[in-house]
């Protein structure tokens, strides 16, 4: 018998408002130079669809904040795990912008989202500490790695890990990249429990930060439309991010799998950050090429096509959808080995090998 870090419950908050690609037809998109994009918006949207795979995304209702979505996803995970919320040792929320009130660009990070979630859930135990993690899109997976370390150090036994974001409130409508992003929240309960037979739980982890010339590949910058306000919006150097991800993410995934002494042939699913359909597909292909292998047809489930990129929420949301049989053709069974992987602002990369 040995102890390991086990995911015992999952949850997600998927906003009800569907923003289709057609909703952007009246937008005028601009280049970084401030000049209007010369092709029609309709053609811009079609090219966007061909590259990213996104046809729609979800936006949070005006009265819903990031902390509200986080608490809802967290509550589902607690119910799924069947634990008493008062026995939690930690609540950790990964995000990038805190609560952003609708129709404003004012971010609110005090108090922390984790403290707000603890308040909303009504958890009174003072020894349940609440704190946030800001690490770009890999933030939620970072909470998994961090909690695994807490477990092994004997500092915690039960944690609620949440990724939540309202990116629709921090994007520039004159920037075509604004179409990538959506809102949502995903959560898991992770416990340090004894396993009797097969060694379930986290098998290995890998994390990297490249922050020299890469540090500003994703940043906060002004509006592309000339003469607009001085408000800062989330911006990406799309080609730089794409090239960076294809170069570094497959290597980090391989390092994680090798550290866990797992054969690539035993890998059942790759649950990767839902950033861009074509980029994710190429990352997985290059990962398998490192083993001189070909990626199995059904190894990579996706939800970006209808949920868009909700940053820290994509991986826990997708994992929850698979566990609850909401992704057609995909399931996770006991003993299946899963590789989680993410890449994002910072630039940060991480991966976790996990046996269900």
* 182 and 206 housed in the same domain: no
* 237 and 325 housed in the same domain: yes
* 188 and 45 housed in the same domain: yes
The tokens for 159 are 């944690």
* 172 and 298 housed in the same domain: no
* 191 and 205 housed in the same domain: no
* 16 and 153 housed in the same domain: yes
Q: What is the pLDDT of residue 106?
A: 80
Q: What is the DSSP letter of 30?
A: B
Angle among Cα 207, 208, 211 to the nearest 5 degrees reads 150
CATH code of the domain covering residue 285: 3.40.47.10
User: How far is residue 82's CA from residue 296's CA, in Å, rounded to a whole number?
Assistant: 35
* 208 and 171 housed in the same domain: no
Q: What is the pLDDT of residues 286-312, one digit of tens each?
A: 999 999 999 999 999 999 999 999 999
Q: What is the pLDDT of residue 104?
A: 80
Q: What is the pLDDT of residue 197?
A: 64
Q: Which candidate, 141, 133, 132, 59, places its Cα nearest to that of 309?
A: 59
Into how many domains does the chain fold?
Answer: 2
| Domain interval for residue 132 | 2-195
Report, as ranges of residue numbers, the positions in the chain whose pLDDT lies below 50. none
Domain-terminating residue out of 195, 223, 253: 195
Q: 221-249 as b/e, with b when 16 or more CB fall inside 10 Å?
A: eebbbeeeeeeebbbbbbeebbebbeebb
* 68 and 95 housed in the same domain: yes
Task: Please tell me the pTM assigned to this model.
Answer: 0.95
């Amino acid at each position: 018998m040995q102890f390991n870090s086990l995911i015992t419950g999952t949850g997600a908050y998927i906003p009800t408002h569907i923003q289709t690609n057609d909703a952007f037809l009246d937008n005028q998109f601009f280049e970084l130079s401030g000049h209007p994009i010369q092709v029609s918006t309709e053609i811009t949207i079609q090219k966007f669809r061909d590259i990213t795979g996104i046809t729609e995304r979800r936006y949070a209702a005006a009265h819903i904040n990031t902390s509200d979505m986080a608490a809802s996803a967290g509550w589902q995970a607690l119910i799924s795990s069947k634990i008493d919320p008062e026995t939690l040792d930690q609540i950790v929320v990964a995000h990038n912008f805190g609560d952003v009130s609708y129709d404003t660009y004012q971010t609110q990070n005090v108090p922390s989202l984790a403290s707000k979630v603890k308040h909303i859930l009504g958890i009174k135990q003072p020894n349940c500490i609440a704190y946030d993690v800001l690490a770009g899109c890999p933030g939620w997976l970072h909470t998994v790695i961090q909690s695994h370390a807490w477990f092994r150090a004997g500092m915690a036994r039960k944690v609620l890990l949440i990724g939540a974001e309202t990116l629709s409130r921090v994007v520039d409508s004159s920037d075509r990249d604004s179409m990538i992003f959506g809102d949502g929240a995903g959560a898991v309960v992770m416990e340090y429990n004894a396993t009797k037979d097969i060694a379930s739980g986290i098998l290995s982890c890998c994390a990297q930060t490249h922050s020299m010339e890469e540090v500003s590949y994703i940043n906060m910058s002004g509006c592309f439309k000339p003469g607009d306000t001085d408000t800062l919006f989330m911006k990406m150097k799309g080609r730089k991010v794409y090239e960076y991800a294809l170069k570094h993410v497959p290597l980090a995934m391989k390092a994680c799998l090798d550290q866990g002494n797992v054969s690539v042939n035993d890998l059942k699913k790759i649950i990767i950050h839902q950033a861009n359909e074509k980029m994710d597909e190429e990352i997985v292909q290059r990962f398998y090429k490192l083993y001189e292998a070909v990626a199995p047809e059904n190894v990579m489930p996706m939800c970006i096509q209808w949920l868009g990129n909700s940053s820290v929420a994509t991986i826990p949301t997708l994992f929850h959808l698979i566990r609850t049989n909401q992704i057609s053709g995909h399931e996770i069974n006991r003993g299946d080995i899963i590789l989680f992987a993410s890449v994002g602002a910072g630039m940060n990369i991480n991966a976790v090998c996990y046996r269900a």
